[in-house]
Amino acid sequence: MNLNTFNALCLPPGVTLHEALARLDATAQGILLVTDAQGRLLRTVTDGDLRRAALAGVSNGTPLSALPARPPHTVGLQASQRDGARSIW
């Protein structure tokens, strides 16, 4: 994955569900990264998240920030695979 492809996956929390769905379709990666103005990861959004929101009657004009909070699990650069696995279990 190159930097342009990665950057296409990143979007701010004010993006609407409709815009996120269009970006998810355009990038074809199955996941988007919601980041703050400093580029810090706030959460991930998948096609499943958007589908559940639609089924719950959430408007397409609703910003991603209105979705239920799901803070990401992260590990530092020096973390081993074992450390990464432990952080999600």
pLDDT tens figures, 46-55: 999 999 999 9
pLDDT higher than 80, residue 89: no
pLDDT of residue 88 exceeding 70, the answer is no
Compute the average pLDDT of residues 65-72. Answer: 86
Cβ–Cβ under 8 Å, residues 31 and 9 = yes
Amino acid at residue number 81: Q
pLDDT: is 21 or 75 the higher one?
A: 21
Residue 83 has pLDDT above 90, yes or no: no
CA distances from 44 to 8, 71 (A): 13, 8
Please check the confidence at residue 84 and state whether its pLDDT lies above 80: no
Q: What is the pTM of this model?
A: 0.83
The residues with which 44 forms a beta bridge, in sequence order, are: 33
Average of pLDDT values for 68-86? 79
